[in-house]
Structure 1
Amino acid sequence: MRQYNNILVIIEPKKDKQLALERAIQIARFNPKVTITALRLIYNFTNEIRFLGKKTELATHNDAEEATQAELNKLIAETLALHPDVKDKGVKIVPKLKWVSDISDGMLEEANSGIYDLLIKGANHHGILDSIIFTPHDWNLLRHAVLPVVIAKDHPWTGDSSIVVAVDFTSTEKQLMNVLLLREAQMLSTITKTPIHLVNSAPVVLPTVMLEVPNYAPELYAESILAEHKRRIMDFAKLHHIPESQCHIAEGMPDDVLPKLCQKLNANTVFIASVGRSGVGAALVGNTCEEIVDFINADLFVLNRKTVTHEQKAAHTQE
């Protein structure tokens, strides 16, 4: 199983609590060899202020960078002071500034640079119009990052919590992602000693044509759908040595079922795949991962198609 040795953390300006940095430090407790890069993006406003001369522009640029660097160094020092055990283990937190013309693109460019093997970002609040008018930064990362992304939420990791893996058997591609998600979850489970639970939803949508079939019983159709989903999750669990008691399935749509199951299981981390939609379709439809992001009070660990393709290419190159 893979160990995360280079973690990229997005520092959020004007926030008292840096959720992503706190979560990275928790991971570092289990792997002291980790290097945490604390990335602070600086918006390059000089392109919008045409009247500045070159000397004034350079001075303004240098002043902004110097002030931001000092602020970032102070944040790291204060954070390490709150976690002396991590500091004593020699965990490195490296400050990094990056000038960008677009915050979202800047995050993605750094994430996809090939230096890091995990990205952690604090969760932002979304509204329904956010997805329609523009793509929030974390949604952009979920769709296009080529490395696993963790969206950290403000909740403690406790001993009685659990790790939840949302599995989907509707296509061959998603079945492959089930395995990859489980492998990542097993790594976290090993270091945190937290049990893994598999969850799945069984949407029962009655075909319209069946309404006209004589003696057709909708309840039997629903039972057959639920039984098929249960068979698949149990077969998957048996193959990967997950106890039957740690498999959970419920009738309903994923965006309704998954948050309820996660709350019931007291999940601290939820592993889920994102289909990586883009364009108008993503804004209006979204996908399960994005639809539940606000309704689960747990960290979201997300793999998308680009992540899987990138890692498969990397593995092939190493061979």
Structure 2
Amino acid sequence: MSQYQRLLLIINPTQRHSHAIAHAAALARASGASLHIAALMRSLDTLWLLEEGDRKQARESYLQDHRDWLKAQVEDLHGQGLAVTMEVAWADDMQQDILDHVVEMQPDLLIKQIEHEPRLKRAFFTPLDWHLLRHCPIPVYLIGGNGGVLPRNVVAAVEVSDTKPADNELNDRIIHEASSLALQCDAELHLLYACDISAAFLENIGGAGLTLADLTRELRKDLEKSFLELAERFGVPADCRHFIRGQPVSVLSEFAHAQEVDVIVMGRNQSRGLAKLVGSTIEHILYQAPCSVLAV
């Protein structure tokens, strides 16, 4: 049985050039899942200039135009044999409205196009996509890139420097989610770990007379051993295992560019302290990797 039975796609109907519907429909077709498309729109700021009666009529007319457009898209998907439902509505609080939809519908996956907010705006306001990554109780599939509607190369990005049970469990979930997606889409699965050994981390280890270079070498060997054991346990072929030195965001972004990756599957950790202000690895990947991101 497929891991996906019900998919929820959130779209902005004013962006009719987006390939989000085609992408979500292809995933629904591959997994045999039903698909609900929720077209949510923020209120129009200019309508307050109109009289109340005119404002109400303008809102309804605007909504109906988008409803007619989406209905045509859904009817086309029905003709392809897909089980698709739809709604078009105003959203006074976009973040909360999306989360309310998730709680009410209980889908297996939330799908949404990535919104690339300017750097200056991100410095003062938390982007909607970051809010969803931090608070959505189900996996979040954020669509990026301009490739085919179904992924052909899927990368499971794991973390082996932590050995806590919760971290090991998260690695298992990441690989399970990535392998299931790859299987459903007939895609190739890769396993990647970005080995970033900072001097600050090494200073806390204790040297026992070893030099910094010795400590770095020994730690790297231990991490690579853990990575290979994880890959072996899940049966990942040798040529699909990637232990790469470097900072995670840079490594993942460069690998995605070089290998034409379609989806990176990563884990979500609750942000704390400074990390909550500057954003986690997965949050920054949204703005640097040329592909989609599936957050577990």
**TM norm structure 1:** 0.79
SS of 2:214's equivalent in the other structure is helix
> What are the equivalent positions in structure 2 for 1:223-302 lying under 5 Å apart?
223-277=217-271, 281-282=274-275, 284-302=277-295
Aligned partners of 1:166 and 1:270 also within 8 Å: yes
SS of 2:262's equivalent in the other structure is strand
Q: Per the alignment, do residues 103 and 23 of structure 1 end up closer, same or farther by CA in structure 2, a change over 3 Å counting?
A: same
Unaligned runs of 5+ residues in structure 2 are none
* CA–CA distance in structure 1, aligned partners of residues 36 and 57 of structure 2: 22
- TM-aligned CA deviation for residue 2 of structure 1: 4.3
Do residues 29 (structure 1) and 29 (structure 2) align?
A: yes
Match of residue 193 from structure 1: 186
SS of 1:250's equivalent in the other structure is strand
Q: Per the alignment, do residues 70 and 5 of structure 1 end up closer, same or farther by CA in structure 2, a change over 3 Å counting?
A: farther
What is the root-mean-square deviation of aligned Cα atoms in Å?
A: 3.1
Cα offsets for 1:68-105 (capped at 9, x unmatched): 24423323424764xxxx54442132121333321222
* CA–CA distance in structure 1, aligned partners of residues 246 and 117 of structure 2: 24
Cα offsets for 1:103-122 (capped at 9, x unmatched): 22212221232431111111
* CA–CA distance in structure 1, aligned partners of residues 149 and 73 of structure 2: 24
- TM-aligned CA deviation for residue 199 of structure 1: 0.6
Aligned partners of 2:6 and 2:34 also within 8 Å: yes
- TM-aligned CA deviation for residue 167 of structure 1: 0.3
> What are the equivalent positions in structure 2 for 1:87-166 lying under 5 Å apart?
87-157=78-148, 161-166=152-157
* CA–CA distance in structure 1, aligned partners of residues 93 and 49 of structure 2: 18
* CA–CA distance in structure 2, aligned partners of residues 120 and 9 of structure 1: 5
- TM-aligned CA deviation for residue 197 of structure 1: 0.7
Q: Per the alignment, do residues 298 and 277 of structure 1 end up closer, same or farther by CA in structure 2, a change over 3 Å counting?
A: same
Do residues 222 (structure 1) and 216 (structure 2) align?
A: yes
Aligned partners of 2:193 and 2:243 also within 8 Å: yes
Unaligned runs of 5+ residues in structure 1 are 304-319
* CA–CA distance in structure 2, aligned partners of residues 24 and 174 of structure 1: 30
**TM norm structure 2:** 0.85
- TM-aligned CA deviation for residue 151 of structure 1: 0.6
